[in-house]
Amino acid sequence: MNAFSDLGLSPEIVSALVEQGYETPTPIQAAAIPKALAGHDLLAAAQTGTGKTAAFMLPSLERLKRYATTSTSPAMHPVRMLVLTPTRELADQIDQNVQGYLKNLSLRHTVLFGGMNMEPQKQALRAGCEIVVATVGRLLDHVQQKNIQLNKVEIVVLDEADRMLDMGFIDDIRRIMQMLPKERQTLLFSATFAPPIRRLAQDFMRAPEEISVAAQNTTSANVEQHIIAIDTGRKRALLERLILDLNMSQVIVFCKTKQSVDQVNRDLNRRGISAQAIHGDKSQQSRLETLSQFKDGSLRVLVATDVAARGLDIAELPFVINYEMPTAPEDYVHRIGRTGRAGAEGVAISLMDADEQKMFEAIKELIKKDLQVERIEGFEPRWWPQDSAPQPEREVRAPRENRGNTEGGSRRQERTAAVKRDAAKDKARAPASDAGAACHRIPGRSRRTRLQCALLQPNYGVRGE
């Protein structure tokens, strides 16, 4: 017996969880499992990283286990459960979790998403499988080709429903919901309950029980957050310094656009830091390969857009860097939710230039945390009021390899002129308030460098210098 059996899960499922290393239910699991087992519809506010996949999968498997059969007849394996997700990565992730959870049950599962050949998916559906995890578009393709029957579905999950709506899937979701039997259980998981989510719930759910484990749009207390004020043109150099000097062996770097993702990726590789990019223009095969290299540790940096990174679950990811602030404050929560998952600790570092201050204010407002702006010695932004913050005690010299002159003289002169022009512009954009920003050093290669900021403490991977 353990805490999972106390929630009403049977030994076959509990022993599979023990194999996965799950000892105690997370709060969302403790709240959702008994209610879902009792057959209620659920409207659950839970962010990624809270253990929400198991929160909807485990009670569903318990309810479906009466259909478990070793029969090879496809007719004995109709689709009983449908999980809809916004992205391919999330679908793949959930499917991998399902595989672990139903180890001891003779139930079949498959995953359907775009960018992959339809034929193997079609064959899996023809052979019969009880649990289908799918992205909306690809599911509809299969429906259109009559590869899938949905008339025996008993449980439907809308995972990251807010994101699906943001991505414009509302009409497709409504179409799919109308194809399902009326007699069914609907489990909706979403980071927020914005009005369109409420309308969806009203139209397609029956007296849903609401559960919420944390205030909406909060960031995990396990994640140490740093906001570093910097000039746009110095971000690239600081990114490299942070990765190298903090010895980051696994870090996701977020950018706003595919173009910046590609640019940052190229820059890092040029500097000999192994990085790969994932964004919507990459083929599914390449995204999955990159992800698996990142997960097994052979890739140091994953550079990603918000959409591509949605649903990524990398066990105990220690670092996330926001190279650019997101376009929506909610994305900040999603981004930094990649670290500090399931109780592990993490560090999220955001590089903020003058134009991104507004977004920073919106983020603070959303997460109701008064995050302090920090500066890194040697990377102080020109737009920050000079006399409002403590001056650095001394300049930290850049590491030797950064000092080399790789540019020709005329390019250097052009750059100097451009820097002067930018300085004038930056001055105009300086924050109105004179709120001071703490100035930290990142440890150089010198033994004498002091560590001044929690971000630089040894438990986050800084060499003990």
**Which residues are near ligand AMP by CB under 6 A?**
22, 25-26, 29, 48-54, 313, 315, 341-342
Q: Where are the alpha helices (DSSP H) in 38-83?
A: 52-64
Tokens of 444: 């150089």
Tokens of 456: 């630089």
At its nearest, how many Å lie between ligand AMP and the CB of residue 4? Answer: 8
Contact 383, 357 (CB under 8 A): no
One-letter identity of residue 380: E
Contact 207, 352 (CB under 8 A): no
Counting beta carbons within 10 angstroms of the beta carbon of residue 242, is it exposed (0 to 12), middle (13 to 18) or buried (19 or more)?
Answer: buried
Nearer to ligand AMP, 48 or 265 (CB): 48
The residue with tokens 């790789």 is 406
At its nearest, how many Å lie between ligand AMP and the CB of residue 212? Answer: 15
Nearer to ligand AMP, 25 or 128 (CB): 25
Nearer to ligand AMP, 56 or 384 (CB): 56
Nearer to ligand AMP, 22 or 113 (CB): 22
* Distance from C-alpha of 32 to C-alpha of 47, rounded to nearest angstrom: 14
Nearer to ligand AMP, 54 or 367 (CB): 54
At its nearest, how many Å lie between ligand AMP and the CB of residue 106? Answer: 23
Residues 6+ apart with CB under 8 A from 10: 62, 65
At its nearest, how many Å lie between ligand AMP and the CB of residue 36? Answer: 14
At its nearest, how many Å lie between ligand AMP and the CB of residue 225? Answer: 19
At its nearest, how many Å lie between ligand AMP and the CB of residue 191? Answer: 11
Tokens of 332: 């900040």
Residues 6+ apart with CB under 8 A from 135: 84, 85, 86, 87, 88, 91, 112, 113, 114
In 200-345 the beta strands, taken as DSSP E runs, fall at 209-212, 223-229, 251-254, 275-278, 301-304, 319-322
At its nearest, how many Å lie between ligand AMP and the CB of residue 304? Answer: 16
Tokens of 102: 């139903």
Nearer to ligand AMP, 27 or 114 (CB): 27
* Distance from C-alpha of 431 to C-alpha of 385, rounded to nearest angstrom: 7
At its nearest, how many Å lie between ligand AMP and the CB of residue 34? Answer: 15
Nearer to ligand AMP, 26 or 87 (CB): 26
At its nearest, how many Å lie between ligand AMP and the CB of residue 111? Answer: 15
Nearer to ligand AMP, 27 or 431 (CB): 27
* Distance from C-alpha of 313 to C-alpha of 89, rounded to nearest angstrom: 9
Neighbours of 194 (CB within 10 A): 15
Nearer to ligand AMP, 15 or 147 (CB): 15
Backbone angles phi, psi at 456, to 5 degrees: -105, 10
Residues 6+ apart with CB under 8 A from 278: 261, 286, 287, 290, 291, 302, 303, 304, 305, 308, 309
